[in-house]
Amino acid sequence: VDAVSSEAAIIPADVSLSDVSIELGYGITRRLNAVGGKEIQWSTSDEKIASVDSEGNVKGVDLGECVITASNEFGKRAQCSVTVKKTCYITVDDGPSSYVNSLLDALKETDAKATFFLVGTPYFPAVKRMADEGHTLALHTYRFHSYRDQYVYFTNLDLLNDRLEEYTGIRSNILRFPGGSGNSFSEPLNMRRVINGAHDLGYRVFDWT
C-alpha cells in the first residue's frame, strides 16, 4: 500500500487556470489563479504587452495580444490569451442632475458603466437606478463649504453616505474632492490635512487630468 501511495504521489499533475482568455486596459491588473502542483512559475510571451508577477497578477502594458503561461514543477503548463485594449473611464461629478435619466439611458444603450461622484441634489433618488444598473457610486460632498474645517467637510461626507445607504443599502469609500486635491482656492496646509484625514478614514481618493 505504501509503495502504491508513493507512486501516486509523484504522478505529474496537470495545470489548469481560472481563465483561458482575458481582456485588459492600460495599467489594469487582473489575477489568474492556477491549480496543479506546488510550485507555479509564471511567464509572458511579450513583456511589452502584458506582464505577470509570481502570484499570477497580469498587468496590461500596451495594446496587443500575448500569452501568459503557468508551469508547474512537473513541466506541465496551461496558457491564457491576453488582449490589451484601449479603455475609457467615464466619471460624472456634481450630480445627480436633471439630465440623469437621459445619461443613464445612453449608458445602458451602449452597455457602458460610469462612476458617479455624488452631491446632495433634489435628484438624489436616482442613485437607486445607478446602483441597480451596475454603476459605481462615489462621494464628492453633500454641501461644500470649504476645506478650512475638516470636521465640517467629513461631516458632509458622512451625511452623503447616510443618504446613499438609505436609497441603495450601500456605503462608499471612493472620494473625489470638490475642485480636486490640487485645487487653487484652498490653503495648501489645510488641503494636506484634509487629504491625510481622508486616507486615515479609509477613503480612496481619485483626481483627474
pLDDT at 152: 92
Percentage of residues in the chain having pLDDT higher than 70 = 95
Q: Is the pLDDT of residue 6 over 70?
A: no
pLDDT at 10: 63
Taking the model in full, what pTM does it have? 0.65
Q: Of 24, 91, 92, 30, whose CA–CA distance to 60 is shortest?
A: 24
Percentage of residues in the chain having pLDDT higher than 90 = 81
* Model confidence pLDDT, tens digit, residues 164-194: 999 999 999 999 999 999 998 999 999 999 9
* Model confidence pLDDT, tens digit, residues 102-121: 999 999 998 889 999 999 99
pLDDT at 154: 95
**118 within 8 A of 96, measured Cβ to Cβ:** yes
Q: Is the pLDDT of residue 8 over 90?
A: no
Mean pLDDT value across the chain: 91
Residue with more model confidence, 16 or 208 = 16
204: phi then psi, degrees, rounded to nearest 5: -100, 115
CA dist 51 → 22, 83, 84, 190 (Å): 13, 12, 11, 40
Residue with more model confidence, 209 or 78 = 78
pLDDT at 28: 84
pLDDT at 208: 86
What residues are paired with 205 via a beta bridge?
Answer: 175
Mean pLDDT over 154-163 rounds to 96
Q: How far apart are CA 147 and CA 192, in angstroms?
A: 10
User: Residue 40 class from Cβ within 10 Å (0-12 exposed, 13-18 middle, 19+ buried)?
Assistant: buried
Q: How far apart are CA 68 and CA 70, in angstroms?
A: 7
Provide the sign of the torsion angle of the four alpha carbons 193, 198, 199, 204, taken in this order. negative
pLDDT at 179: 94
Tell me the DSSP string of the chain: -HHHHHHHHTSPPP-EES-SEEEEETT-EEE--EESSS--EEEES-TTTEEE-TT-EEEE-SSEEEEEEEE-TTS-EEEEEEEEE----EEEEEE--TTHHHHHHHHHHTT--EEEEEE--TTGGGHHHHHHTTPEEEEEESS---SS-HHHHHHHHHHHHHHHHHHHS----EE--TT-TT-SSS-HHHHHHHHHHHHHTTPEE----
* Model confidence pLDDT, tens digit, residues 124-137: 999 999 999 999 99
Mean pLDDT over 160-166 rounds to 97
Q: Is the pLDDT of residue 4 over 70?
A: no
Other C-beta atoms closer than 10 Å to the C-beta of 154 total 16
Q: How far apart are CA 42 and CA 178, in angstroms?
A: 43
